[in-house]
Structure 1
Amino acid sequence: MQLTPLNAVSPIDGRYRSKTEKLADYFSEEALIKYRVRVEIEYFIALCNIPLPQLKGFDTSLFSDLKTIYENFTAIDAAAIKEIEKTTNHDVKAVEYFIKDKFDALGIQEYKEFIHFGLTSQDINNTAIPLSIKEALEGVYLPSYEAVVDKLNDLAKEWSDVSMLARTHGQPASPTRLGKEIEVFIVRLNEQFNGLKNIPIAAKFGGATGNYNAHKVAYPAIDWKAFGSSFVEEALQLRHSFPTTQIEHYDHMASLFDALKRINTILIDFNRDIWTYISMDYFKQKIKKGEVGSSAMPHKVNPIDFENSEGNLGIANAIFEHLSGKLPISRLQRDLTDSTVLRNVGVPFGHTLIAFQSTLKGLNKLLLNAAKFEQDLENNWAVVAEAIQTILRREGYPNPYEALKGLTRTNEKINQQSIAAFIETLDVSEDIKNELKAISPSNYTGI
């Protein structure tokens, strides 16, 4: 059976394929194989550049031909490696044999035993996978994240002067401005993103138990630690982890996943707030002809984009949580539990990408219901009590808090008239009374 969006088990490759297909270039099986081939080729080139005595005769003009092996890597090449794997029952060894066949085809078979020289499979996996994560962050995650934040910035500016009733503990509270409330989320997101950018994308490269044992026994005069650091940090643009066991310790990767999770958590908080504002009628939503809000209730326009985003962010965070909690733990010098777990790295990225696009879609459908903002403020004159009692404190008025508490904590409706009548009872100057009467829910919004 050929895989299609209709028969895929995962919604990432099924229902949401159009939203996540760019991730296939980084996290699919074919992509992983391609990254492995890339690391093996670049490693061979690095050995030639030392150069090892047996590689001094290698024609460096062939480097471009070697790079073409991974630069022009195709699905046919990936299938050929999977066919080799049926015999080897080892995915990285299959890559090695594939490249050796390519060396035969180029007529350089005398050099092919320096493919994968002195390495273990984790030297390839623990460079290929971090490299795929780094490039997925740059190529797919960053543009999607920036699209959300750019939209939030636009809305924060557009709605900077929209006064709104705040709610603390779900109750009416000191007024604020809609643009400022959105700016809160922008700052939160960007602070976490700035932290994310400072987390190293680290890779292990050091042989079977991290000590360059095989390298050193073959060429004891070479500084293999310096070579490994140069290869990882210059050729691959990753942070070289050293010392390690057979595998990368994944501490930096865990930090990365935790940072991505925190960004997602902030966006969950945002989605829920917007969902609530929609339920309060602060926002209407643009209607698209032909769309159905409910199968039973024709009037409904549901906030489905924010709900979809929240759900996908939750799934992403559950997987990020497992990855960051599991990967740094390995028995002794290594066990194999990281291998199968790492094959799922693309899954939380997929759900995150779906969520970002859903939030953005929802934001683009919002219509400000200014009348509702104004109505809520007008219906809650009690919130200016804080302002009045604060000015009275400034003036040394006795027990101002208690006086306002007596006025506002009743079952009677508090409005502009009752506030004005209360102000008239105060033993303060006319100037102070006028100052107090100038305060309204719509202008008492602070900085």
Structure 2
Amino acid sequence: MKSHMIDSEVYKDLYGTDKIRSIFTDQSMVQKWIDFEKALAKIEAQYGVIPKEASDEIQRKGKIEHFNLQEICKDIVFTSHPLVPFIKQYQNLCEENYGEYIHYGATTQDVIDTAFILQLKEAYEVIVDQTEKFIEVLTISTRKYSDTIMAGRTHGQHALPITLGYKMACWLAEMKRNYTRLKEIEDRVFIGQFSGAAGTLASLGPDAMMLREALIKELDLNVPIITWHTNRDNIAELANTYSLIAGAIGKIANEIINLQRTELREIEEGFQDGKIGSSTMPHKRNPMVCEYIVGLSRLVRMQVPLIHDSLVQEHERDMGLWLVELEVMPEMSIYISKMLYDMTNIIENLRVYENQMRENIDITKGLILSEKLMFELSTFIGKQTAHEVVYKACMRSYENNTSLSQEIMLEDQVNKILSKDKVDEILNPMNYLGLCKQFTQNVLDSEEKYAICKN
């Protein structure tokens, strides 16, 4: 029986992909417990802490197919301990009493934390690759639409003309910053844990520090300078970064939803025959995938307070808060991966209606260029006076459903200065794109730090 939407046979592919889900299965988790115990035995044998024969037997029996996960689950409930049933089962698998050397000098949290970090690292590598792919696809679209003019909107209303490339460049710049953040935190987040009962490794004597370093490097993790049993800022930093990515992608999805509104219809997420928008309204072409992404974005961002709550722990171990991390971080990883996967496909297959964008600019009959007209007039009559004159003309245009050009020429302070042809030239949106082109190119050229992180 599956009771979580991530694993639902009906809805699971709306929440994640098989690739990212497989990283957080029970089999994957237990295999990483095994990997920890095998690596520990190998290093301890090298340092003479346990017999080499014991290490060899632990390596031989350390295969997931040898373990009974149902029995482990049952015994965890019986013992109320999250790892001892696994250790016992591993011990019983080993011959010649070599199972006595399993978990030598370690504590439960060493195994659970390190295995968890290994899972998160595996998922992180998928997410980094997906982020790179998304940036590549978004870069192509930004360049493609760098000259596609559209209405810029503030407070939901027409503001000034912009280009679609400029809008996408804003998205791209944010995603490049998020990629940089992803790479910058890698060394701090993916650290191993091996510190023993109270974090001092007292049980392993004078070679403990070297043994600890060798074990963590064997698992291809970074070595922390001190125990982090109750210092969870590395987990929180990963959650924070995923939340920023979720916010960026959720914003893009929400913008597409808004620009796909029937009244605007400037862009549309990819459509293919058979995609259904409604069970009762056959005409609907809804931005369904974007809506799923917005939902996942909320699920990711709302998890961050839970992770931050786990920063407040007691003494040298506080097991109750493990439950939060073990639940929340896999969910965040799965959702972020799915968001990146879907948004990459959306941008690749985005439908852009350039003619509609141009028509929408004209629905306010020149009002979108009121700022340009005001500044042109300010040369002759001053900025504040120009604002008042243009404001009056704009308000009449709204009320009378007339053009700004028509209304401004009724103003004596204007018609004595500017001809009708000059006003029409001023109100041409192609002549007032500001730094759209330059800003877009800045983002397209901003490869240096992104490339350094990528390499």
TM-score by length of 1: 0.82
Partner of 2:321: 338
Task: State which of 199, 203, 206 in structure 2 corresponds to 1:210.
Answer: 199
1:331-410 equivalence runs, <5 A: 331-344=314-327, 345-380=329-364, 381-393=366-378, 397=382, 399-410=385-396
Q: CA RMSD in A?
A: 3.2
Contact 2:39-2:218 at 8 Å conserved across structures:
no
Partner-residue secondary structure (3-state), 1:176: strand
Partner of 2:72: 82
Partner of 2:102: 115
- 1-structure distance, mates of 2:129, 2:12: 18
Task: State which of 278, 285, 291 in structure 1 corresponds to 2:275.
Answer: 291
Deviations 1:319-364 (A, max 9, x none): 3431x22322222222321232233132222233333334344445
Contact 2:277-2:286 at 8 Å conserved across structures:
yes
Give the counterpart letter for 2:69 in structure 1: A
- 1-structure distance, mates of 2:61, 2:340: 35
The reply to whether residue 237 of structure 1 matches residue 221 of structure 2 is: yes
- 2-structure distance, mates of 1:173, 1:230: 60
Q: Greater shift after overlay, 351-360 or 377-386?
A: 351-360
Partner of 1:152: 138
Task: State which of 173, 189, 192 in structure 1 corresponds to 2:178.
Answer: 192
- 2-structure distance, mates of 1:271, 1:357: 13
- 1-structure distance, mates of 2:386, 2:74: 84
Unaligned runs of 5+ in 1: none
- 2-structure distance, mates of 1:88, 1:305: 45
Higher RCO (CA 8 Å, separation ≥ 6 residues): 2
- 2-structure distance, mates of 1:327, 1:298: 48
The reply to whether residue 317 of structure 1 matches residue 311 of structure 2 is: no
The reply to whether residue 414 of structure 1 matches residue 406 of structure 2 is: no
Partner-residue secondary structure (3-state), 1:442: helix
Partner-residue secondary structure (3-state), 2:248: helix
Contact 1:161-1:177 at 8 Å conserved across structures:
yes
Structure 1's 66 and 154: CA in aligned 2 closer, same or farther, altered over 3 A? farther
Q: Greater shift after overlay, 153-162 or 141-150?
A: 141-150
- 2-structure distance, mates of 1:227, 1:427: 88
Partner of 1:22: 19
Contact 1:13-1:20 at 8 Å conserved across structures:
no
- 1-structure distance, mates of 2:19, 2:75: 26
Structure 1's 20 and 423: CA in aligned 2 closer, same or farther, altered over 3 A? farther
Partner of 1:93: 84
Q: Greater shift after overlay, 152-161 or 43-52?
A: 43-52
- 1-structure distance, mates of 2:11, 2:19: 12
- 2-structure distance, mates of 1:149, 1:16: 28
Contact 2:253-2:290 at 8 Å conserved across structures:
yes
Q: Greater shift after overlay, 366-375 or 81-90?
A: 81-90
Partner of 2:445: none
Give the counterpart letter for 1:190 in structure 2: K
Structure 1's 394 and 39: CA in aligned 2 closer, same or farther, altered over 3 A? farther
Partner of 1:262: 244
Partner of 1:161: 147
Partner-residue secondary structure (3-state), 2:372: helix
Contact 1:30-1:75 at 8 Å conserved across structures:
no
Deviations 1:248-271 (A, max 9, x none): 421111111011011101222211
Contact 1:378-1:441 at 8 Å conserved across structures:
no
Give the counterpart letter for 1:39 in structure 2: F
The reply to whether residue 170 of structure 1 matches residue 156 of structure 2 is: yes
Contact 2:270-2:350 at 8 Å conserved across structures:
yes
- 2-structure distance, mates of 1:24, 1:315: 16
Q: Greater shift after overlay, 166-175 or 85-94?
A: 85-94
Partner of 1:445: 433
Contact 1:120-1:208 at 8 Å conserved across structures:
yes
Contact 1:233-1:240 at 8 Å conserved across structures:
no
TM-score by length of 2: 0.81
Task: State which of 265, 290, 294 in structure 2 corresponds to 1:306.
Answer: 290
- 2-structure distance, mates of 1:300, 1:59: 68
Q: State the 1:287 CA deviation.
A: 4.1
Deviations 1:189-240 (A, max 9, x none): 2212311322212343211110112223xxxx32x23432343245432342
Contact 2:144-2:165 at 8 Å conserved across structures:
yes
Give the counterpart letter for 2:67 in structure 1: D
Q: State the 1:36 CA deviation.
A: 0.8
Structure 1's 297 and 346: CA in aligned 2 closer, same or farther, altered over 3 A? same
Unaligned runs of 5+ in 2: 436-455
Give the counterpart letter for 1:343 in structure 2: L
Q: State the 1:378 CA deviation.
A: 2.0
Q: How many residues align?
A: 420
Deviations 1:153-205 (A, max 9, x none): 22212211111111111121111111110111121122123113222123432
Contact 1:204-1:242 at 8 Å conserved across structures:
no
Contact 1:379-1:415 at 8 Å conserved across structures:
no
- 1-structure distance, mates of 2:73, 2:119: 23
Q: Greater shift after overlay, 93-102 or 177-186?
A: 93-102
- 1-structure distance, mates of 2:111, 2:39: 11
Task: State which of 244, 256, 266 in structure 2 corresponds to 1:282.
Answer: 266
Structure 1's 376 and 81: CA in aligned 2 closer, same or farther, altered over 3 A? same
